[in-house]
Each structure stands twice: as C-alpha cells, then as structure tokens.
Amino acid sequence: MNQQYAMKIYSAPLQGFTEAVWRNVHSGVFGGIDGYYTPFLRYEHGEIRSKDVRDIERKNNSVENLVPQIIVATPDEMHPLMELLVNEGYSRVDINMGCSFPLQMRKKHGAGLLPYPHMVASILKATADYPGFKFSVKMRLGCESKDEWRALLPILNDTPLEHITMHPRLGVEQYKKPVDIDAFAEFYLACTHPVIYNGDLLTFGDIKRVENDFPGLKGIMLGRGLLANPALGIEYHNSRAMADDELCALVQRMHDTMFRELSPRLQGNTQFLTKMKPYWEYLLPTLPKRLRKPILKSTTIEKYQIAVANALRGEW
C-alpha cells in the first residue's frame, strides 16, 4: 500500500441501526462523515425485502455520498440487486464479505464466503457486467482462519476496486476477541488497493492511533463507536473531543428528530420501543447505570421520553 491519502471518515453499515432515518438525522445534526454505507441488501426467496428497498430509495435519503451494500454468494443473487441500484441511479456499491451473523455465514454470505476463493472470484468477475459502477469490498481476515485473506488477495488485487475495508477479526469471533492489528498490518502492506480500517474505534484517540500507525490509509470506518458517540467523526475533523454538555445537547436534538420521523411509522409502544431502546445499548457509554436503566426498562413511550430527558441533562 504505497499511495498516500487524506484520511476520510465513513459510517459503517449496521443492520437495524444505521438505516435511512438514522443516517439522515445524523448527517443533519452531527455530520463529520465523508460517506455513509447502507445495511446490506440481499436477494432471498426470489425477492428483495421491501423494507430494504425503501432504505436505499433516493427519495428516502438526504445524505451525500451514500453507498449501498449488497451481500451475495453468487452472481445470480447479485444481478437483481444491481438492477435495483441501477434503477435508483447509484454509481457505487460495496460487497459485503464480512458479516458475522451465523445465519448469513451458513449461506456462504458475508464472512462465510471467505474460505471459498472460487466463489469470491465468480462474484468479482461479475462486477465487469456493470462498467458504470465503482465497486468496493468490506471483509474480515477470514471466517475461521486469519490467513484466509491470503488466498483471496491475488483475486482482489486483480479486480478494479475503489477500496477494501478490512475488519481484522474472524467471522466466527464476531466481536468477542480483540482486533488483530498485526494481521491487519500484513494485509495493508500486501493490498494494492486503497485500504480503509474498521474495528474497535471507540474514541478520538483510537482514530488518531490508527492514523499514526498506518499513515497511508484511505480512511477509517466507524461502526459501534459512532453509535456510542455520534460526534466521533466531527471530533476527528476538529481535532478535539466534544464537551459532555455539548454532546448531550446534540444527542437530544438527534433523538427528538428521530422520534418525530419514526413516530408516524411505528405504531404503539411496542414497535417504537423495540426500535429505539437498542440504540441505548451503545449510546453514551459513560452514562451512569442509574440513568440508562430507566430507559432500557421503560414500557411506554411517555416513560421512555422522561427517562431520556433525565439522562441527557448532562449532569453526570
């Protein structure tokens, strides 16, 4: 990896979290993100889920530099997804080779694809059918072995790709073990494409450390770290951490805007709370348990709103 790039900050695709409403509101309230990646589109049982179609439709997205992601095991699965993206006017697409959900891996999707170089080659060859698109890949070191990337790298290097995002864990590890920085360094040096780093970037200091260790990176991709601190991208661009009171005020603004956007779509307490409470498993990790617990235990929208307001007073 010899070329030099100015560091870019990207938002990772996280199923159930970084959907259109979250992306639109995050961009408007916080910003600091150079590109947002959608949760993966998949073709199953002869169709694309209508929920996934709505998430990538241009009319539902206001962010700049939105990149749809697809997850496939064969070119046959790829073609209907690409037809949808062509019709929506996209020109970039990311191929998911890193998803660690066991159900997906058993279908040879995501990281489950990595032990099969011939299948990877078939998918990457199919990208030539879409000359108007720039393709990228998001992947892990392997599914069960951290050396699986080695057999794939000649195929990847020979394919015209905009970049490769590497999350240096195994699929079977999900998020349970530390990232393998040494293995990432080997991949980074051997890859001829621009490389984006993804994995355990939770603070402004984490980003700076990776940037210093790998000065030729095209960028970094923030996943759970951005859910925990939505200001993380702007903190990097401003070269300073955001004060707690400022952060809480912006989180309140983002939360209230998401509430207004989602309320007409989610009917009743159960649907709304099922959608919103999981964000608080990540959001503001320094929030005291005495303030987080009432949010997670709330049983009505009214109790939830009161608990959130109490938590975001910023006096903790």
- 2 in any annotated domain: no
Q: Which residue has the higher pLDDT, 266 or 190?
A: 190
pLDDT of residue 4: 44
The total of structural domains in the chain comes to: 2
296 with 160, same domain: the answer is no
Query: Pick from 108, 103, 186: which is nearest to 141 by CA?
Result: 186
| CA torsion, ordered 99, 180, 286, 206, to nearest 10 deg | -110
**Residue (of 51, 57, 68, 64) closest to 24 by Cα position:** 64
Q: Are residues 168 and 61 in the same domain?
A: yes
CATH of the domain at 55: 3.20.20.70
In a domain, residue 42? The reply is: yes
Report whether pLDDT(2) > 60: no
List the beta bridge partners of residue 196.
Answer: 165, 219
- In Å, how far are 59, 146, 174, 266, 295 from 274, measured between CA atoms? 25, 36, 23, 10, 12
**315: pLDDT confidence band, cut at 50, 70 and 90?**
low
266, 209: one domain: no
pLDDT tens digit sequence for 156-171: 999 999 999 999 999 9
Q: Residue 222 sits in which domain range? A: 8-238
CA–CA gap between residue 268 and residue 245 (Å, rounded): 31
Is 232 found in the same domain as 262? no
Same domain, yes or no: 230 and 276: no
Helices 117-126 and 75-87 cross at an angle (nearest 10°) of 30
pLDDT of 266? 81
pTM over 0.85: yes
Claim to verify: residue 140 and residue 262 sit in the same structural domain: no
How wide is the angle at C-alpha 18 spanned by C-alphas 203 and 132, nearest 5°?
110
Which residue, of 238, 257, 276, is where some domain finishes? 238
Would you say residue 84 lies in a domain? yes
